[in-house]
């Protein structure tokens, strides 16, 4: 008799984006003339950089010729991209990596969701709240998160991030966390962590033999000096952290699919017989069995980002989004909103005015100025009373949305 993985039945259905879509569709049906501005999506809108397009065309042509055709790629990914990553993303920050430490993948969602395959189910977890839902759900699916209670999953320690603590999570004290998920710059709050604060987490992990899963998907959006781009800028992090990066937000690859994960050779964890085992070897084994790699064409597309032209072009696109963020931040601040994020990340996180809940403010914006954003509570209980706007829209829409809000005041 075949049975299912019962853990899937414990997962609450995520209503967030379907609820938003349903509310917007209903409003549109009742108000066909309303011009609705969508500032809720977490997806990019600008096209790929010309250097990327050119590299992809060239790679496609190579696939048309028997001399240059490529079949299955190397298991870690092609070395030209590993090399470009090491030389461009890490060496300039004083971080030395071996080729074997870089795993090319199809994006950060897959690897942040799959990394748990190589770790014991008895590890306790620590997550910041609000949070990108993949970390929680992927652990719930294999049973590691425990049982869902009114206070959240029984095996997860939640670290609230809110205005009161400056969106800086504090170290868990109630129980030791074996696996810790951190995402900076943060989605959804758009806030960052300082080097001194990140060092506290690295020191905690080294002291307690924990592992930090560091999601740096928005690293390219950091504008201020002195904000860490990689966790490996912190001494000792290679012994306790895995870092996830993605070209999705960096270079508009949400539809192309390419990213990478760093699993340092020094990183080990305990086996049931008490011996230490390198996670790099386990992850390699896991990927060789279950992951098919990302295509040669995608590799060449990603490599093009590191060319002089490519670098300039993706920087322009990031500047476009960050100027959107600045416009919204300034306008909202001027209107008296309490605004966070938007300086080193493409997300604005604001406190709902007049004590409104996240969903009340959602309805208020949809019905009044016809603006769609994302209710903060959808990312976790500590998001209640907050609201996320993204800077990934068009300039015209950002400006128009701010005009409409001002007219309400």
- Is the backbone of residue 153 left (phi > 0), alpha (psi -120 to 50) or beta? beta
Q: Does 346 bind ligand PLP (CB under 6 A)?
A: no
CB of 326 to ligand PLP, least distance (A): 20
Please report, as residue ranges, which positions from 250 to 269 form the binding site for ligand PLP (by CB under 6 A). 254, 259
Q: Which of the stretches 104-112, 143-151, 155-163, 322-330 binds ligand PLP when contact is defined by CB under 6 A?
A: 104-112
CB of 89 to ligand PLP, least distance (A): 15
Q: Can you read off the two tokens belonging to residue 14?
A: 């995520």
CB of 180 to ligand PLP, least distance (A): 15
Pairwise CA distance, residues 324 & 168, whole Å: 25
Q: Which of the stretches 94-102, 105-113, 169-177, 262-270 binds ligand PLP when contact is defined by CB under 6 A?
A: 105-113
Q: Does 39 bind ligand PLP (CB under 6 A)?
A: no
Q: Does 81 bind ligand PLP (CB under 6 A)?
A: no
Pairwise CA distance, residues 170 & 2, whole Å: 44
Q: Does 89 bind ligand PLP (CB under 6 A)?
A: no
Which member of 78, 90, 132, 379 binds ligand PLP (CB under 6 A)? Answer: 132
CB of 313 to ligand PLP, least distance (A): 19
Q: Does 59 bind ligand PLP (CB under 6 A)?
A: no
Q: Does 213 bind ligand PLP (CB under 6 A)?
A: no
Q: Does 210 bind ligand PLP (CB under 6 A)?
A: no
Nearer to ligand PLP, 268 or 344 (CB): 344
CB atoms within 10 A of CB 396: 9
Nearer to ligand PLP, 211 or 331 (CB): 211
Which H or E run includes 213? strand 211-215
Q: Does 329 bind ligand PLP (CB under 6 A)?
A: no
CB proximity list for 223: less than 8 A, separation 6 or greater: 322, 343, 344
Which member of 77, 107, 342, 373 binds ligand PLP (CB under 6 A)? Answer: 107
Q: Can you read off the two tokens belonging to residue 104?
A: 């090319």
Q: Which residues of 376-395 are buried (b: 16+ CB within 10 A; e: fewer)?
A: bbbbbebbbbbbbbbbbbee
Q: Which residue is nearest to ligand PLP (CB)?
A: 107
Pairwise CA distance, residues 333 & 342, whole Å: 12
Cα→Cα distances 198→225, 258, 284, Å: 15, 26, 27
CB of 292 to ligand PLP, least distance (A): 16
Backbone angles phi, psi at 28, to 5 degrees: -65, -40
Nearer to ligand PLP, 251 or 366 (CB): 251
Which member of 215, 219, 243, 303 binds ligand PLP (CB under 6 A)? Answer: 215
Q: Does 217 bind ligand PLP (CB under 6 A)?
A: yes
CB of 295 to ligand PLP, least distance (A): 15
Q: Which of the stretches 30-38, 103-111, 141-149, 311-319 binds ligand PLP when contact is defined by CB under 6 A?
A: 103-111
The crossing angle, in degrees rounded to 10, of helices 308-334 and 50-63 is 140
Q: Does 109 bind ligand PLP (CB under 6 A)?
A: yes
Q: Which of the stretches 84-92, 107-115, 165-173, 200-208 binds ligand PLP when contact is defined by CB under 6 A?
A: 107-115
Counting Cβ atoms within 10 Å, is residue 96 exposed (0-12), middle (13-18) or buried (19+)?
exposed
Cα→Cα distances 135→54, 127, 182, 234, Å: 35, 8, 10, 23
Single out the residue of 43, 40, 18, 34 nearest to residue 375, CA to CA. 40
Which member of 182, 183, 318, 398 binds ligand PLP (CB under 6 A)? Answer: 183
Pairwise CA distance, residues 92 & 85, whole Å: 11
Single out the residue of 249, 283, 252, 250 nearest to residue 265, CA to CA. 283
Nearer to ligand PLP, 230 or 268 (CB): 230
Nearer to ligand PLP, 341 or 369 (CB): 341
Cα→Cα distances 17→23, 40, 379, 383, Å: 10, 9, 11, 15
Q: Does 187 bind ligand PLP (CB under 6 A)?
A: yes
CB of 106 to ligand PLP, least distance (A): 7
Do 242 and 117 meet the contact criterion of CB atoms below 8 Å apart? no
Alpha helical stretches, state H, 91-143: 108-114, 134-141
| Residues contributing to the site for ligand PLP (CB under 6 A) | 42, 107-109, 132, 183, 187, 215, 217, 246, 248-249, 254, 259
């Amino acid at each position: 008799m075949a049975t299912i993985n019962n853990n899937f039945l414990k997962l609450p259905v995520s209503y967030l984006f379907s609820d938003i879509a349903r509310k917007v569709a209903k409003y549109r049906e009742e108000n066909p003339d309303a011009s609705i501005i969508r500032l809720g999506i977490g997806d990019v809108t600008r096209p790929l950089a010309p250097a990327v397009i050119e590299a992809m065309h060239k790679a496609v042509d190579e696939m048309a010729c028997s001399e240059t055709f490529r079949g299955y790629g190397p298991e870690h990914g092609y070395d030209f991209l590993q090399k470009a990553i090491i030389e461009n993303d890490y060496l300039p920050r004083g971080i030395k990596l071996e080729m074997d430490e870089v795993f090319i993948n199809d994006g950060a969602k897959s690897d942040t969701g799959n990394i748990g395959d190589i770790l014991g189910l008895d590890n306790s977890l620590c997550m910041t709240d609000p949070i990108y839902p993949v970390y929680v759900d992927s652990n719930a699916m294999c049973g590691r998160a425990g049982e869902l209670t009114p206070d959240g999953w029984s095996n997860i320690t939640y670290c609230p991030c809110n205005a009161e603590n400056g969106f800086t999570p504090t170290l868990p004290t109630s129980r030791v966390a074996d696996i810790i998920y951190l995402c900076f710059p943060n989605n959804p709050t758009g806030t960052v962590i300082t080097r001194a604060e990140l060092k506290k987490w690295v020191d905690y992990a080294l002291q307690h033999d924990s592992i930090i899963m560091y999601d740096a998907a928005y690293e390219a959006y950091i504008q201020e000096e002195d904000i860490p781009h990689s966790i490996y800028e912190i001494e000792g992090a290679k012994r306790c952290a895995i870092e996830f990066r993605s070209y999705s937000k960096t270079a508009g690859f949400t539809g192309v699919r390419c990213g990478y994960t760093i699993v340092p050779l020094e990183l080990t964890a305990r086996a049931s017989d008490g011996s230490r085992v390198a996670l790099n070897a386990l992850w390699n084994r896991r990927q060789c069995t279950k992951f098919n790699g990302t295509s040669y064409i995608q590799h060449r597309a990603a490599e093009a980002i590191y060319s002089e032209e490519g670098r300039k072009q993706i920087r322009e696109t990031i500047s476009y989004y960050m100027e959107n963020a600045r416009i919204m931040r300034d306008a909202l601040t001027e209107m008296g909103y309490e605004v966070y994020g938007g300086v080193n990340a493409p997300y604005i996180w604001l406190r709902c005015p007049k004590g409104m809940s996240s969903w009340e403010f959602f309805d208020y914006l949809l019905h009044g100025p016809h603006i769609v954003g994302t209710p903060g509570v959808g990312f976790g209980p500590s998001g209640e009373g907050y609201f996320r706007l993204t800077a990934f829209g068009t300039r015209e829409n950002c400006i128009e949305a701010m005009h409409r809000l001002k007219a309400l005041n």
